[in-house]
A and B are shown apart, each in its own frame.
Chain A
Amino acid sequence: MRGLSSGMKVALVDAAAMALAVAVVAGLIAAFGSAGAQRVATHAGLLLVSVVSLQLFSGNTGIVSFGHAGFAGIGAYVVGVLTMPAAIQATALKNLPVLLAGYQLSLGSALVIVAVIAVVLGLATGAVLMRLTASSASIATLALLVIIVTVLVGAREITRGSQPFYGVPRGVGLATATAAAAIALILARLFRDTRTGRMTRASADDAVGAAAIGIDRRHGVLASWTLSVVGAMIAGGLTAQYIGAFKPQDFYFDLAFETLAMLIVGGLHSSFGALVGVGATTLLIEVARRLEEGGSFFGVEVPPVFGFTEAVLALAMLLVIWRRPEGLSGGHEMELLRRLVRLRPPAPAPEPDVRPPAAMLTTRAVGKRYAGVAAVADITLALPTGQVTGIIGPNGAGKTTLINLIAGQAAPSSGGVYVDAAPLAGLPAFRVARTGIARTFQNIRVFPHMSVLENVMTAAERIEPNAVAAERAARRELARLGLADHADRLAGTLPYGERRRLEIARALVTRPSFLLLDEPAAGMNPVETDALMAILAEVKRVRGLGIVLIEHDLGLVMRLCDRVAVLDHGRLITEGPPAVVRADPMVVEAYLGSRTSARALARLSEQTQ
């Protein structure tokens, strides 16, 4: 396991443990359970495939999907038509198009075809979904469900419409269901810790933050959607060969809500949650429905009370949502390896000896208007590598807007942004990031549900050759920012100042030519601020990158910066070396405004000299 990142090692052990657990339970039921118990376990296994597939998409993207039930329906009908004996097909599907008739495939071959169709459908529908934000994407999956079921009802020649579709050979038993469930669990657990999995989770956690490290959100949505559609359709295909008779409405809202409820009970954000959700729900149903059937309990006659199971399920769900909003699993994976063994992390990578080439980041007469208000107007600045440029100005001067225009979070209304001669304006933020411009945000944008290491590693993966190299590079930056001991903590649990440092580590690991820092010292005490300034000065010295710094702490700006630009009301007032800017009466007038402030500035200059 030397060639694997820590995350992948943990994922492999988890995946193996979950698959083993499923296999052991299934083995025990096969050996000691009644035929009825085996049916229960088989159905639970098939549900597990559905729920895990749903988790792979919804858990990683944060987009709740209702469409998976419909895709399961497509899978069921494809397997039904392709595996049905020709003799039954002749009566049950009289008007079946000749092209589809008479294949009598084995379940395995039919599933391969289902998977191919799933990839095509997944890519086609995913191409739409990936352009939508979380809530509208969710509504789109709802629409997909309605469309799919309507088409299934309408395609009477193939599906018998609303009438029962029957005659599907029943080849799915406990063994097949168990194998499918184990494979689904393994794939979902590993996907989470692949590069794509991390990128998908990062975008779900904070889309703007992810774009700033060069992640194209659409890529992760499309990949996880397509994979999970394959899972859903295979689950449907297997279910077809288990239940043998069905109609389109069997794959409608009821199924969508049932699988979603199981996932939410277990925990949406982890494959372990899917396993726990299906396991706990199945156990609960089995116990409750035995009680509701009544009978003689220790000499007392109890009448049957139907509806008890549903009531218990509803109560359990309420209880889970109330007491454990992240689900029974808490939204965490098992991380067995991390709990049981003290993992020796790979050594931090050494500082790269390749320096980014000298370049010039320029804004040329760049401006941004919001409904007639000029947030930034006509600013021309040259920001070379190897220099720290401070941008100062009163609140509302347009400093953050200028950074957003440079980094692609906003498109300029006029003028342009260039790296050397290459124009950046109009590019989406993730593309700007890929040209070597990294940034941090005034309102911190780390990925709260990912570990500190994952936060930085995800950014590193864009430039490092593999996950191990990315992990080592990430550990180098964590060490630099004093976060090495927190590598496995969830980023959302870090205190404020450390989250700021994490964001800087995440930006630095991409080895940018330009680093844009939006108030990096906000909320830090003087000791922390000094330490941070030392780090930044060192990075500039070693890497020769260009740093653009927005900061209110004037002392810090004057000490660290090679040049200072002053903005007021969206315009550039002056620009030059700190000493010159400090003495500029325009700055004192516009930025500091009063005689008191002038005295403060004078005092400041005495201190810094």
Chain B
Amino acid sequence: MLLSHPTIGRLVLSAAVTCALAAPSYAEDILIGVATAQTGGLAPYDQPSLAGFRMAIDELNAKGGLGGKYTAKLAIKDTRTDTAATITAVQELVDAGASIIVTPCDADATIAAGQITVAKRIPTLTFCGTAPVLATAVGDNLFGTYPGDNLQAAVIADHAYAKGFRKAYLLVSPDSSYTAQLPEYFAEVFKKKGGAVVGTGSFTMGQPDFSAIVTAIKALPEQPDLIMTAAYEPDFPAFIQQLRAAGVTTTVYGADAIGTATVQGLGKLVDGTVYTAAGYPTPGGALEAFNKRFATTTGHAAESAYEANGYEIGLILDAAVKAAGSTDPIKLRDAIAGLDKLPIVTGTITYAGTNGMPVRAVSLIEYKDGKPVYIATQTPAAADVPAAAH
């Protein structure tokens, strides 16, 4: 197909028009570039995060802007869950003069984005990426916002040890950073406290049959009193059903990805299973209040903790702009890195003293009689959180 000249002309024209229409940043504005996956495999995480983030920015702008001074302009681009498209989108946002970049929940897309923003040290925040390595892979301008895998694992290990568990079995899958590394972080903290790991099993995400692993657990010379995994659907339900069917009653702990209706629906099978969340909407608490406000503002209920987390990024940026008193990216980066116990919806968040993955509250929840029961919200000391696995 050879394009005729009029077609090329129209394309050039439309490109020129759209470029001209891209919002220019004025003296009292701050341009925030949002390059996240609104379509594709990451959309279930990035869409709710964006909804919460936009709500925060709208509210802050109504109150005079970030730091009460700078009206925030959002330039939003869809990366279609594609790393190369993320690079292009971030480059365009940097070209347009963005002072802050928000990236997808995926660690490698965030790292790829960070390689572009690192040159100007533009602060780059991932929506809900939890792999601790993303904060250290490129430079000090990358920040996590959601509880990192290592942070969650530290809270779970702490709780497990306090409950009297001493011998753990790890169920990992090399198929994702989350399923591979989180149990390992758990083991690190658990062992430091005095616990022991008596075995490790590996599964393939999506495998229907866990009988080999169940048999291996039953045959262990030293029976574990806890099984730790970061498996989620459909693996977690499949595993626990087959485990219980084989007569193994050992308690199973998981992480934030099993806080779903499906797992809750397993009823008695998951009795005693403890998992984490970025927050828990306790009656009368701040998260419940946020969820209500979110539902009124957007017209639909919050589906997950990601809405609140997206909203909290708005609060983080507001505090950073206030502290920096400027829209200069480097000053903003320094301001974020210096945030200490900033009050947010689910508790407080601290970047000071970390390498970019925040220390923040993690809620522990336990399934009892098919219902999630809130245990506690904990904020571990930065020193207790295991270092990011490189």
Contact = CB atoms under 8 A, between A and B. Distances in A.
A245 B180 contact: no
B56 interface: no
A45 to B, nearest CB: 11
Given A39-B87, A39-B91, A161 B137 contact: no
A170 B80 contact: no
Given A244-B115, A245-B137, A295 B84 contact: no
Nearest to A161: B174
Interface stretch (B15-23, B186-194, B273-281): B15-23
Interface residues of A, number: 50
Nearest to B176: A162
Contacts of A247: 108, 177
The majority secondary structure among interface residues of chain B is helix
Given A162-B175, A163-B177, A245 B78 contact: no
A293 B39 CA distance: 13
Given A289-B77, A306-B38, A306-B78, 10 more contacts: A34-B19, A34-B92, A36-B92, A46-B84, A163-B181, A244-B115, A245-B115, A246-B112, A295-B23, A328-B1
Q: Tell me which of B1, B87, B115, B390 has the highest count of chain A C-beta atoms within 10 A of its own C-beta.
A: B1
Given A92-B390, A153-B174, A243 B112 contact: yes
B304 interface: no
Contacts of B308: none
B266 interface: no
A47 B364 CA distance: 46
14 contacts: A34-B95, A46-B84, A156-B174, A162-B179, A164-B111, A244-B111, A245-B115, A247-B177, A254-B82, A287-B14, A290-B15, A307-B38, A307-B78, A310-B40
B378 interface: no
Interface in B152-195: 174-177, 179-181
B120 to A, nearest CB: 12
Contacts, number: 126
A413 to B, nearest CB: 47
A292 B389 CA distance: 38
Contact of B390 (A91, A239, A296, A310): A91
Given A153-B174, A280-B1, A245 B18 contact: no
A429 B360 CA distance: 73
A286 interface: yes
Interface of A: 34-36, 39-40, 43, 46, 91-92, 94, 153-154, 156, 161-167, 170, 239, 242-247, 250, 254, 276, 280, 283, 286-287, 289-293, 295-297, 304, 306-307, 309-310, 328-329
B107 interface: yes
B354 interface: no
B251 interface: no
B151 to A, nearest CB: 17
Contacts of B257: none
Contacts of A36: 88, 91-92, 95
Given A43-B84, A153-B174, A309-B80, A286 B15 contact: yes
Nearest to B113: A245
Q: Tell me which of A94, A245, A286 has the highest count of chain B C-beta atoms within 10 A of its own C-beta.
A: A245
B84 A292 contact: no
B339 interface: no
Given A154-B174, A170-B115, A164 B137 contact: yes
A205 B175 CA distance: 41
A280 B8 CA distance: 12
A28 to B, nearest CB: 10
The majority secondary structure among interface residues of chain A is helix
Given A39-B88, A43-B88, A306-B38, A246 B83 contact: yes
Nearest to B14: A287
Nearest to B109: A245
B77 A293 contact: yes
A397 to B, nearest CB: 53
B269 to A, nearest CB: 28
Given A91-B390, A243-B84, A287-B14, A166 B174 contact: no
B76 A304 contact: yes
B83 A163 contact: no
A606 B83 CA distance: 83
Q: List the 9 closest A-B pairs by CB distance, nearest first.
A: A306-B38, A36-B92, A164-B108, A245-B111, A328-B1, A290-B18, A163-B177, A166-B137, A91-B390
A509 B388 CA distance: 70
B113 to A, nearest CB: 9
A515 to B, nearest CB: 44
Interface in B58-107: 75-78, 80-85, 87-88, 91-92, 94-95, 107
Contacts of A153: 174-175
A276 B1 contact: yes
Contacts of A39: 87-88, 91-92
Contacts of A239: 84
B373 interface: no
B78 A309 contact: yes
B137 A296 contact: no
A289 B317 CA distance: 27
B138 interface: yes
A165 B38 CA distance: 24
B133 interface: yes
A296 B21 contact: yes
Contacts of A46: 84
B137 A243 contact: no
Interface string B10-44: 01001100110111000000000000001110000
Contacts of A293: 75-78
Interface in B375-390: 389-390
